[in-house]
């Protein structure tokens, strides 16, 4: 069986940058997981003594706090500043962009539509930048737009990891009801590149292995794209989740990995699959 890696996979610019920032601040703590990959978080803990707190009141005085790639709500950032922690901001610049757009457009009197998952940390952060949170709306489907009390001018942004075609459906639906729409395509390139190359590989593969955190929206999306083109698509966090039986009678095994997946995990997976041959 041939094993082929997608031409673009794994760590994106924002995650590489956040890890380098954390490695440069040994002994710091991250507020919320730095990235969606628990194996990499363990590596940072063991090699660089990087701690993790989930609640603001778990922080100790003088802690150096690293802000995760997908940002935190504005009010929490303000609390951190008041508590006089040393703050190291590892928020990805592609996430800071929609935060700034939401802040600016809502101050200019636009209703803000955010295409994304309400429960995703990035979206909780982005919506918190609206001047008036009652005038900022998070939606996943075009039919949710109908019941919203939108003003005549609307600005729309997307969660960075969403599919462009789904974002386009939201925009098209708004065009049917509103004359003034400001569209900001805040989907990041890393997502496009990994998705496009996973999709073309899935078309030729008999089996696709997508490696990444099960809570990573980016990885789940990669997996759903692969499933569209290859019925035997599996999402795993690491090599321990592989099952030898998946590979019987398969000729080409494609591999892709989410934007928070370190290369050492990808290599471990390849090594284990090679042992099945
Ligand atoms: S997926 Fe995109 S937005 Fe998210 S951390 Fe990576 S580069 Fe930044």
Mean pLDDT of 107-135: 96
Burial 2-33 (b: 16+ CB within 10 A, else e): ebebbebbbbbebbbbbbebbeebeebbbbbb
pLDDT in tens, 245-262: 999 999 999 999 998 899
pLDDT of residue 71: 95
| Residue 163 banded pLDDT, cuts 50, 70, 90 | confident
pLDDT band at residue 138 under the 50/70/90 scheme: very high
Residue 63's pLDDT is 92
**Minimum CA distance residue for ligand 1 atom 5:** 14
Residue nearest to ligand 1 atom 7, measured at CA = 14
Higher pLDDT, 260 or 149: 149
User: Count of H helices and E strands in the chain?
Assistant: 9, 12
Nearest ligand 1 atom, CA 18: 5
What is the per-residue pLDDT for 165?
92
* pLDDT tens column, 1-43: 999 999 999 988 999 999 999 999 999 999 999 888 888 899 9
pLDDT at 84: 81
233 DSSP β-pair partners = 208
173 lines ligand 1 (CB under 6 A): no
Residue 215: the pLDDT is: 86
pLDDT for the residue 260? 83
**220: helix, strand or coil:** helix
- In the chain, % of residues over pLDDT 90: 84
Annotate 32-84 with DSSP letters as a single string: S-SSS-HHHHHHHHHHH--EEESSGGGPPTT-EEEEPTT---HHHHHHHHHTT
Q: Measured from the CB, is residue 213 less than 6 Å from ligand 1?
A: no
Average pLDDT score over the chain:
94
Please write the tens of the pLDDT for every residue from 80-114. 988 889 999 999 999 999 999 999 999 999 999 99
Ligand 1 geometric centre to CA of 189 (Å): 8
Q: Is the pTM of this model over 0.85?
A: no
- Catalytic annotation on 78? no
Which tens digits make up the pLDDT trace of 57-72? 999 988 999 999 999 9
Residue 19 near ligand 1, beta carbon < 6 Å = no
114 SS3 class: strand
Centre of ligand 1 from the C-alpha of residue 154, in Å: 25
Q: Is the pLDDT of residue 216 over 80?
A: yes
Instruction: Decide whether any atom of ligand 1 lies within 6 Å of the 238 Cβ.
Output: no
Exactly one of 23, 40, 108, 122 is catalytic; name it: 122
Cα-to-centroid distance, 240 and ligand 1 (Å)? 26
């Amino acid at each position: 069986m041939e094993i082929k890696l997608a031409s673009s996979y794994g760590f994106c610019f924002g995650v590489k940058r956040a890890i380098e920032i954390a490695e440069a601040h040994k002994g710091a703590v991250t507020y919320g997981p730095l990235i969606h990959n628990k194996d990499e978080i363990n590596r940072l803990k063991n090699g660089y003594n990087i701690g993790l707190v989930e609640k603001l009141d778990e922080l100790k005085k003088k802690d150096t706090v690293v802000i995760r790639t997908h940002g935190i709500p504005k009010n929490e950032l303000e609390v951190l500043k008041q508590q006089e922690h040393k703050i190291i901001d590892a928020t990805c610049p592609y996430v800071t962009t929609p935060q700034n757009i939401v802040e600016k457009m809502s101050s200019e009197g636009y209703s803000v539509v955010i295409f994304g998952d309400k429960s995703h940390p990035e979206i909780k952060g982005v919506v918190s930048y609206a001047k008036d949170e009652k005038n900022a709306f998070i939606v996943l489907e075009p039919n949710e737009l109908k019941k919203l009390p939108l003003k005549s001018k609307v600005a729309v942004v997307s969660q960075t990891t969403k599919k462009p075609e789904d974002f386009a459906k939201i925009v098209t639906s708004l065009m049917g009801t509103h004359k003034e729409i400001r569209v900001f395509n805040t989907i990041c390139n890393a997502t496009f590149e990994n998705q496009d190359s996973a999709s073309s590989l899935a078309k030729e593969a008999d089996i696709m292995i997508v490696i990444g955190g099960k809570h990573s929206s980016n990885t789940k999306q990669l997996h759903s794209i692969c499933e569209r083109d290859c019925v035997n698509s599996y999402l795993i966090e690491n090599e321990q989740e592989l099952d030898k039986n998946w590979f019987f009678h398969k000729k080409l095994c494609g591999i892709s990995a989410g934007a928070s997946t370190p290369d050492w995990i990808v290599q471990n997976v390849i090594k284990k699959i090679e042992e099945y041959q």
